[in-house]
Structure 1
Amino acid sequence: MAHDIVFFLAPDDEAASSTRLLGPGAAFESVTCRFIEPDSAIAEWDMFFEEPSAEAPPLEQLLGWAWPEWVTAPLNDGVEVFALPERLTRALANASSADLEELAGRWTTRLRSEDGDDMTDDDLLAVLRGVARLAASAVNTGGGLYSWSF
């Protein structure tokens, strides 16, 4: 099931966990997109920077990748708050435009193969550019990059 997702910058896990009930809102700098799975997107991005390739890896390889950590315990209400791995935050912060374009192409291919016509209509390159901007802020301020989804 796909989610509405907000990637946001927070000073620490405690601040990120405070978003659990109402979302990040205006209190946190953020980028929003719709109809994607946050944990698989984070794993896909992490895998791209650790094992660069324009081709999307087989689904089995993606499923075997290290998935993001929960910031708050999962409940039955559908809300998920994840911390992006620090290495991914650094990689996004240092990514070139070409890296982000290649990742967006790979991510789009995977989503299209999995979701078909139900794929998000968000501009995935714009989403990645926004998340990379947040990542650069996180690296510069010592904060963290998180996702909140419902």
Structure 2
Amino acid sequence: MMAKDIVFFLAPDDEAVAAMRGRRPGPGFESVTCRFVEPDSAIAEWDTYFEEPSAGVPTPEQLHGRWPQWVTAPLNDGVEVFALPQRLTRALADAGFTELEELADRWTTGLRSHDGDDMTDDDLSAVLQGVARLAASAVSTGGRLYRWSF
């Protein structure tokens, strides 16, 4: 698996995010950081879960069409910035502890089956809880939730 630094962060709008192009979100942004996960797949999987909750790991066909939107056009610098879908942000903000734990278990199972021993060392439940807190802040402030990776 390719090593990636992933930062989920809260920002007021796409323009603020586009202005930081090429730079990692700094201390002015509320954020949650993790490594060694494929963030596009995670976002698609989370979105699928809230659309059709189940303990089963989704198939690639179920994830198709649920990729997040680019905030800026991709360049060759390796930096990717996506906006999470608003429906996912609302779902994460409204999710209870039990839902988030079930989703984290499903996410962990999927990563483990795909990546085996190369799976991230991050506590995926803690990552998901942190992203849900960011989502709640986004909903209450009118901001948006984004994902930056390198």
| Paired letter, 1:137 | S
The answer to whether the 8 Å contact 1:5/1:38 transfers is: yes
Work out whether 1:139 is the aligned partner of 2:139. Answer: yes
For the aligned residue pairs, the C-alpha RMSD in angstroms reads: 1.0
Which residue of structure 2 aligns with residue 104 of structure 1?
104
- 1:128 and 2:122 aligned: no
Please tell me whether the aligned partners of residues 71 and 82 of structure 1 are also in contact (alpha carbons under 8 angstroms): yes
SS of alignment partner, residue 24 of structure 1: coil
Tell me the distance in 2 between the aligned counterparts of 1:107 and 1:137: 23
Question: How many angstroms apart in 1 are the aligned matches of 2:20 and 2:126?
Answer: 24
Contact 2:6 2:39 in 1 (8 A): yes
The one-letter amino acid of 1:116's match is: G
Decide whether the 8 Å contact of 2:7 with 2:25 is kept in 1: yes
Q: Secondary structure at the match of 2:22?
A: coil
- Structure 1: 5+ residue runs without aligned partners? none
Aligned length: 149
Question: Which runs of 5 or more structure 2 residues have no equivalent in the other structure?
Answer: none
Following TM superposition, the consecutive aligned residue runs of length 4 or more in structure 1 with deviations greater than 3 angstroms are none
Residue identity in the other structure for 1:91? A
Cα deviation code 1:39-96 (max 9, x no counterpart):
111101000001111111222322x232100001111111100000000000000000
- 1:9 is matched with 10
TM-score (norm 1): 0.95
1:1-150 matches, cutoff 5 A: 1-62=2-63, 64-150=64-150
Give, in whole Å, the separation in 2 of the partners of 1:19 and 1:35.
23
Query: Could you say what secondary structure the match of 2:32 adopts?
Result: strand
Question: Any conservation in 2 of the 1:8–1:24 contact (CA below 8 Å)?
Answer: yes
Q: Which amino acid aligns with 1:92?
A: L
* Identical pairs, percent: 77
The answer as to whether partners of 1:3 and 1:38 remain within 8 angstroms in 2 is no
